[in-house]
Copies of this chain bind each other. A is one copy, B any other.
């Protein structure tokens, strides 16, 4: 049998949506800030340098996508990475980009 059956349209939309959620620098900053463990919103605001409103919105987007999960404790809300594939995804992309950049740097040296 073939390795990959073509995914139906609905599945492709889900995959695309997941990539879209990861396609914003501020959301990546939030994910990065959560690599070491859970943080509350105020901590994430100062860690990322964003406004409270904007950070809150992005946290909602990430939570709706099941990438983060929320835990309320008194006045504060703590977020943490809920999907264990996220760090692997980021590593894959970062590694791939490093290679691409290294190639481009080599070209610049050779040409320049």
Contact = CB atoms under 8 A, between A and B. Distances in A.
A66 B104 CA distance: 11
A72 interface: no
A13 interface: yes
Contacts of A22: 16, 19, 23
A92 B83 CA distance: 11
A85 B25 CA distance: 21
A90 interface: yes
B18 A93 contact: yes
Interface of A: 2-4, 6-7, 9, 11-20, 22-25, 28-29, 32-33, 35-36, 66, 83, 85, 88-90, 92-97, 100-101
